[in-house]
Amino acid sequence: MQLHYYPSNASMAPHLVLEEIGAPYELVRVERTLNAHKSAAYLALNPNGLIPVLVDGDLVLYETAAICLHLADTHPSAALAPAFGTPARAHFYKWLMWLTNTLQSSLIVYFYPERWADTPEAIAQVKAHAEAKIDGLLDQLDTELARVDGQWFMGASFSVLDAYVLTLCRWTRGFGRPARSLAQLGPYLQRVLARPAAQRVFEREGLKPPYL
């Protein structure tokens, strides 16, 4: 397998999943600073020009959540998702979709407000609205963590969701109220970060503290 990645991008979620699984894979750095994600070669892999892409044999897959699910499904012994057809699996799908289509998409508005407005004032307003929305979304994660029984997002078992939550919460480290400052999220993120797989990912992506 090959994971096309850029440090600290959405690719970190499948990178964490690959390290948790322990299967062999190759990291292919997509040089964003040179716009390599908009090159013809990369667009042939992902016509959206977005990171990540996973190549698994003949399969070329984009969309972070789909890649994470595929990795969990093809490596069942790693137990990174609840059993098919169970209520836990249904909630797992719900949170995975929410992470990608609600939290991640709001974060992308926050980081690229100039795509949504023209004047400096309007751009600042888009950014402020995105941060306010994300603030409430972080509260939702915190409330869920207070509800579940266990140290991981799904309870007793570490899952793909933990990799995804860490990746997205890290992006809030420059916020007025970052994820690490919330009562449940703060210690939870430290637990995910302390896993040997997470330590290897931060090392391999060349990331330096502060991690959260």
Ligand X SMILES: N[C@@H](CCC(=O)N[C@@H](CS)C(=O)NCC(=O)O)C(=O)O
Report the interface residues with ligand X, using CB under 6 A.
Answer: 9-10, 37, 49-51, 62-64, 100, 104, 108
Omega of the bond leading into 210 within 30 degrees of 0 (cis): yes
Nearer to ligand X, 64 or 159 (CB): 64
96 vs 115: CA distance, rounded Å: 25
Shortest distance (Å) from residue 85 CB to ligand X = 26
User: What's the burial of 22, exposed, middle or buried (CB within 10 Å: 0-12/13-18/19+)?
Assistant: exposed
Show the DSSP H helices in the chain as ranges: 12-21, 40-45, 64-74, 87-98, 105-111, 120-147, 160-170, 185-193, 196-204
Collapsed DSSP state (helix, strand, coil) of residue 155:
strand
Shortest distance (Å) from residue 64 CB to ligand X = 3
Nearer to ligand X, 10 or 189 (CB): 10
Nearer to ligand X, 62 or 175 (CB): 62
Nearer to ligand X, 123 or 148 (CB): 123
Shortest distance (Å) from residue 62 CB to ligand X = 6
- Chain position whose Cβ is nearest to ligand X: 64
Q: Which residue has the tokens 């719900």?
A: 94
Shortest distance (Å) from residue 87 CB to ligand X = 26
Nearer to ligand X, 37 or 180 (CB): 37
Q: Are 212 and 170 in contact (CB under 8 A)?
A: yes
Shortest distance (Å) from residue 107 CB to ligand X = 8
Q: Are 146 and 184 in contact (CB under 8 A)?
A: yes
